[in-house]
Structure 1
Amino acid sequence: MKLNIFKPNKGSGKGSTQQTAVKHPLEGVVFTGIVRDVASNGQAVLEHSCGVAVFVRGAWIGERITVKITAFKKRFAVAHLLSVDEPCEQRITPACRHFMSLTQPHTPSCGGCAWQFVDYDAQLAQKQRWVRSAIERLTGQVSQAALAPIAASAEAMGYRNRAEFKSDGRILGFNAAQSDALIDIKTCGLLNAQVAEYLAALRARLPNPQWIGQKRKGKKSYTLLAVDDAMPAEAIEANVRRPFRQGNSRQNAVLQQWLHDALSPVAGCQSNKVLELFAGSGNFTRTLAALGFEQIIAAEVVPVAVDNLHSLGLPGVQAEVADLFDEAALSTLCKKHDDATILVLDPPREGLMCSKPLFEHTGFERVAYISCDLATCMRDVQGFMAKGYTLVSVLPVDMFPQTPHVELCVLLERTGR
């Protein structure tokens, strides 16, 4: 079945190549099916009788649901959940008033967390399955030593130490699910106590004409109000992003402990030199310095973050500004530090946009890769393995409960070293 159908625009005149999209015959169709899987974006997957995969928010594996197909996106369809006819055992009542409601299907819902309707153990199990499946595709098998059980968050709610609210001057909150519409958020159960206080304080300043957004290219823009629990309230500035920081403090400590344990066996060797990329303001540089490495090159794209790192005065640390997204700049950095024996990585969600200089560096004996995206991490790990590295261990970390996000800690070693 063709998913994209076009016909000439009758009013375009002879020889015109202008085309008009034709509605797909299944758009608007209502059908009932059983959820077979959950995709990496957190949406449930079921199959229409014609063989088309259909994605829908708010359902879980094994549930019989009724949906309405709303659109096609190349090879798959997107649907709206109408009813859960046979719920799974893991389904629970969402704690948040702003979560999607089946009784009010036309009311926009918050897009911040997609899994509040499923109990926490089921969320953890699904994330573990994703990681196991990804490693199996990479290596063919997964040993117990290679894949550790996922590190659960101490708090399934109330863990978030930072947030970015938006306002149009009248209301304040988050974007709606799959939309740029603004949801007026009165309370959010994911926020920790301090950030929740900031939300209440900002709402007390509504209405606020200074927060009225301007239209850009026909679209409404909103005023950004970024907060975290390490800042004073008077430091909140409109449209100013806060420096990057892991959003769950306790789980960040898990990442730091993993890095400590992964590199402690080689920390005592004076010949080991560490090249840390995407160092930020020193979140993991502190751990490296505490291990006693005498040479730590901490490279970061953002100059302000490097200034913050300098101000820490960590022993053995040399902070550098480097364009880690430019192959020539990264190649220069690798050649400058060709004697580095340990590579530490904490890239953004896109992973290593430039990887060739790292793969060709012959001195790295151990690679510690901390990732916030499973797909790009496995892509990069495959690149290292093709260059003679062995996948030693993987620790999944649940940084953001109630969402499909999973953090990864991956240790690689060069084969034969």
Structure 2
Amino acid sequence: MKIGGRVDKISDDGLGVLEAHGRKLHVPFAYPGDVIKARKVRRRFGRKLALDFELIEWSPLRQTPRCPHFGTCGGCLWQGLKYKAQLELKKDIFERVTGIKAEIKGSPRLWGFRNVSNFIVTSKGIGLKEYGNPLGVVDLEECPVFSKRTPEYLRSLTGFLRETGLRPWNLRAKSGEVHYLQVREGKFTGEVMVNLIAHVEPSGEVLEAFKGHFSFADSLYWSLKADKRDDPRGEAGLVAGEPYIRERVEDVAYLIHPNSFFQTNSYALPLLLKAVERFTDGERVLDLYSGVGTFGVWLGKRGFKVGGVEMNPFAVEMANRNAQINGVNAVFKVGKAEGTSIGDYDTVIVDPPRRGLKEAAELLVKSGVEKVVYVSCNPKAFKLDYERHLKKAYRIDGAVLIDMFPHTPHVEAVVELVRKE
């Protein structure tokens, strides 16, 4: 029997949810108010998932999506949802998960805002993964959330593969030579970095072809991938151009390298940085999990004395370079968050990986520091850290959500934690 009915709510991970005949169904690309009839239902991750459905009646929250790949591509679950509704649902999900009411600030741009895209290069096509299908690939024509230049980038890659005869990656067999094309754009500088992730060392002829087809790039890398994991990572080697591109966020310049993590929405990044700044007190700030110094350098530019700790030596090198080019009082060191001596800092900024703080949360509890500013894209991890550890010493004094990821269920939270009396 086909399952159908009206979607009445949204799940914590952004799927429409309906209940019919005593059964609960999760529906990707469906929203509260939609009336749907499922065509294909699969059990995934302990729940029933509608991988294909007929839309019988539109929700008043629904809009016509801009991208022709919507509904198949896994990149934008919410592109069919009006932007105001996206923001309200993000607030609702965050409150449902954490119990915190927070204002939300929308992204200044809804299209062309992503400053990086990782296009998978496969025997089935070049583009992005299908939703719900680990072996499916959407052969992209365009990507309106990334760049107007996406067709140009993809044409250049296709021409390069045709000329060299290099084989795209086969997801099922885990074999092939070219696996990913990563493109980064400095949205405020216009600079472009192209990084090809491949399983072979390039010959001289291949490198010449690579430079010819991507002559527009300010920075051109070939990354050698030694493993068969399906991720865009490899040992980066500069082929041509500059070793870094720059992004400018208001009065701060950041250097970007293929192996750097940098917030993906350059236009909303000032909102995030200013939210962190607003919650920061005192003179001395510790930027824990500092990465390439995104927060620390910004705060240093505003007169704070910043120390940073990050376990990735390359990221620390980049953070100190960013501090140097901006002329700020910030020093970053290699170290583990949970092994850091907090000392006499007034505020600690934490932007942990998706799994959360874990052991470092107890370090903060015992430290005596008055203010913690917790930045998180994973509200469930924040809740665990707070309920299990931070709640012993800190109260929640404020929170703001920044929509760094339009057309997805994800949101960045900045939570102000103040030590209890």
TM-score by length of 2: 0.77
CA contact (8 A) 1:159 1:190 kept: yes
CA contact (8 A) 1:275 1:298 kept: yes
Which residue does the alignment assign to 2:138? 183
Instruction: Give distance in 2, aligned partners of 1:196 and 1:361.
Output: 53
Give per-residue Cα distances to partners, 1:390-411, cap 9 Å, x unaligned. 1011111111111111111111
Which residue does the alignment assign to 1:253? 270
Matched, 1:133 2:96: yes
Aligned pairs for 1:109-188 within 5 A: 109-136=72-99, 142=101, 147-148=102-103, 150-168=104-122, 171-180=125-134, 181-188=136-143
Instruction: Give distance in 2, aligned partners of 1:320 and 1:118.
Output: 43
Aligned pairs for 1:346-357 within 5 A: 346-357=351-362
Q: Structure 1 unaligned segments of length 5 or more: list them.
A: 1-28, 101-108, 268-272, 325-329
- Report the residue type matching 2:318 in the other structure: N
Which residue does the alignment assign to 2:156? 201
Matched, 1:32 2:10: no
CA contact (8 A) 1:65 1:84 kept: yes
- Report the residue type matching 1:117 in the other structure: G
Per-residue deviation, 1:77: 1.3
2:406 to 393, 398, 401: 401
Per-residue deviation, 1:125: 1.2
Aligned pairs for 1:259-270 within 5 A: 259-263=276-280, 265-267=281-283
- Report the residue type matching 1:282 in the other structure: G
Instruction: Give distance in 2, aligned partners of 1:194 and 1:116.
Output: 20
Instruction: Give distance in 2, aligned partners of 1:151 and 1:203.
Output: 39
Instruction: Give distance in 2, aligned partners of 1:398 and 1:261.
Output: 17
Matched, 1:42 2:14: yes
Q: Structure 2 unaligned segments of length 5 or more: list them.
A: 187-191, 194-216, 226-233, 235-257
1:367 to 366, 372, 376: 372
- Report the residue type matching 2:160 in the other structure: R
1:305 to 292, 309, 315: 315
CA contact (8 A) 1:166 1:174 kept: yes
Which residue does the alignment assign to 1:88? 59
| Structure 1, 78-87 or 230-239: larger mean CA deviation | 230-239
Give per-residue Cα distances to partners, 1:321-345, cap 9 Å, x unaligned. 1234xxxxx2x31xx3333332101
* % same residue: 27
TM-score by length of 1: 0.78
CA contact (8 A) 2:361 2:390 kept: no
Over 3 Å counting, the alpha-carbon distance change for 1:97 and 1:375 in structure 2 is: same
CA contact (8 A) 2:285 2:347 kept: yes
Query: Which secondary structure state, in structure 2, belongs to the residue aligned with residue 205 of structure 1?
Result: helix
2:28 to 42, 57, 68: 57
Give per-residue Cα distances to partners, 1:102-160, cap 9 Å, x unaligned. xxxxxxx2111111111111111111111233343x6xxx4xxxx22x11111111111
Instruction: Give distance in 1, aligned partners of 2:153 and 2:160.
Output: 11
Query: Which secondary structure state, in structure 2, belongs to the residue aligned with residue 85 of structure 1?
Result: strand
RMSD (Å), alpha carbons = 2.4
Instruction: Give distance in 2, aligned partners of 1:41 and 1:162.
Output: 23
Query: Which secondary structure state, in structure 2, belongs to the residue aligned with residue 411 of structure 1?
Result: strand
CA contact (8 A) 1:42 1:403 kept: yes
Instruction: Give distance in 2, aligned partners of 1:116 and 1:391.
Output: 32
Per-residue deviation, 1:170: 7.3
Query: Which secondary structure state, in structure 1, belongs to the residue aligned with residue 69 of structure 2?
Result: coil
Work out the number of aligned pairs and report it.
354
Query: Which secondary structure state, in structure 1, belongs to the residue aligned with residue 277 of structure 2?
Result: helix
CA contact (8 A) 2:297 2:328 kept: no
Over 3 Å counting, the alpha-carbon distance change for 1:151 and 1:356 in structure 2 is: closer
1:316 to 312, 329, 343: 329
Query: Which secondary structure state, in structure 2, belongs to the residue aligned with residue 72 of structure 1?
Result: strand
Give per-residue Cα distances to partners, 1:57-96, cap 9 Å, x unaligned. 1211122211145233465312234212221112222211
Instruction: Give distance in 2, aligned partners of 1:310 and 1:195.
Output: 32
Bigger Cα Rg: 1
Instruction: Give distance in 1, aligned partners of 2:385 and 2:393.
Output: 13
Over 3 Å counting, the alpha-carbon distance change for 1:92 and 1:120 in structure 2 is: same
CA contact (8 A) 1:160 1:190 kept: yes
Per-residue deviation, 1:193: 4.1
Over 3 Å counting, the alpha-carbon distance change for 1:215 and 1:39 in structure 2 is: closer
Instruction: Give distance in 2, aligned partners of 1:360 and 1:339.
Output: 14
Over 3 Å counting, the alpha-carbon distance change for 1:76 and 1:169 in structure 2 is: closer
Instruction: Give distance in 2, aligned partners of 1:384 and 1:288.
Output: 27
| Structure 1, 203-212 or 82-91: larger mean CA deviation | 203-212
Per-residue deviation, 1:281: 0.8
1:71 to 42, 56, 67: 42
CA contact (8 A) 1:225 1:236 kept: no
CA contact (8 A) 1:169 1:209 kept: no
CA contact (8 A) 1:227 1:236 kept: no
Instruction: Give distance in 2, aligned partners of 1:266 and 1:88.
Output: 48
CA contact (8 A) 1:338 1:361 kept: no
